[in-house]
């Protein structure tokens, strides 16, 4: 896919957004992450934080130390050095995430199966067969947005979000799948739950996953879930 020209625009008085593309795409996301890495390594004066997303990079800066115009000038120069970045050029790690599917752990598995004319076992097989890329971390600390979900099981969010979704819940929202790192409100279709702890403030780094990582789901039994949970 051809990546369209990058857009730069201010975000309040102390941040700017670098928009690489307008779709969920591996090459677009690879460039976002490459630019994030280049900025981090360059240690541009005044930058406080970079937040990568599916298709853009939010850059927070101290307006007392640099200006919007100066920052855009420096980042454009950096961007020019990574024009040809590809997905294969980035080092990634693959994490296997054990999941107990269905029942009380995945209350929406039956619904996902029914609307697609599948059995619950088929949904589990399809969901766990793919390797998913971590496109971004957001929503709540440590929440990974993973993609892309096979069309056979892609399912819209709930019309009314749940007040409480338990820690470790694995859900589907359209073409995305994700994992709740702690209990929180949410409208994703919950099809399973993992005993893995994705976010721990006392760990460095606190988030188990980072953008660019690969996740592979592994079906487990309820007994295995309990055993693994007890070890956390």
Q: What is the pLDDT of residues 173-232, one digit of tens each?
A: 999 999 999 999 999 999 999 999 999 888 888 899 999 999 999 999 999 999 999 887
pLDDT on residue 84: 57
- Mean pLDDT confidence for 154-180: 97
Last residue within a domain, chosen from 89, 124, 148: 89
CA 223 to chain centre: 28
List the 15-19 sheet strands across, edge first. Answer: 7-10, 15-19, 56-61, 47-52
Judged against a pLDDT cut of 80, whether residue 3 lies above it is answered with no
Taking residues 25-41, report their average pLDDT. 89
The domain tally of the chain equals 2
Residue numbers of the domain that contains 104: 94-230
Give the pTM. 0.84
CA dihedral 89, 175, 136, 86 (to 10 degrees): 10
| Same-domain pairing of 156 and 217 | yes
Residues 67 and 122 in one domain: no
Verify that 84 and 123 share a domain, yes or no: no
Tell me, yes or no, whether 58 and 100 share the same domain: no
Are both 105 and 160 inside the same structural domain? Answer: yes
Residue keyed to tokens 């019309």: 159
- What's the pLDDT score for residue 9? 93
Judge whether 161 lies within some domain. yes
Q: In Å, how far are 162, 194, 197, 216 from 166, measured between CA atoms?
A: 10, 10, 12, 21
116 in the same domain as 206: yes
């Amino acid at each position: 896919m051809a990546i369209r020209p990058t857009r730069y625009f201010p975000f309040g008085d102390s941040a700017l957004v670098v928009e690489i593309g307008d779709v969920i795409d591996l090459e677009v996301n690879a460039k976002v992450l490459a630019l994030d890495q280049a900025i981090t390594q360059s240690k541009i004066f005044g930058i406080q934080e970079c937040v990568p997303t599916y298709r853009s990079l939010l850059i927070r800066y101290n307006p007392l130390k640099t200006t919007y115009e100066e920052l855009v000038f420096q980042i454009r120069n950096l961007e020019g050095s990574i024009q040809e970045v590809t997905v294969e050029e980035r080092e990634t790690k693959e994490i296997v995430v054990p999941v107990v599917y269905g029942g009380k752990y995945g209350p929406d598995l039956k619904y996902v199966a029914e609307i697609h004319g599948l059995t619950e076992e088929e949904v589990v097989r399809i969901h766990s067969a793919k390797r998913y890329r971590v496109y971004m971390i957001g929503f709540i600390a440590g929440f990974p947005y993973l993609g892309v979900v096979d069309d056979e099981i892609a399912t819209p969010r709930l019309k009314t979000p749940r007040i409480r979704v338990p820690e470790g819940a694995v859900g589907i929202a359209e073409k995305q799948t994700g994992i709740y790192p702690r209990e929180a409100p949410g409208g994703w279709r919950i099809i399973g739950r993992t005993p893995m702890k994705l976010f721990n403030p006392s760990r460095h780094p606190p988030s188990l996953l980072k953008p660019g990582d690969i996740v592979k789901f592994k079906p487990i039994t309820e007994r295995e879930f309990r055993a693994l949970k007890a070890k956390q």
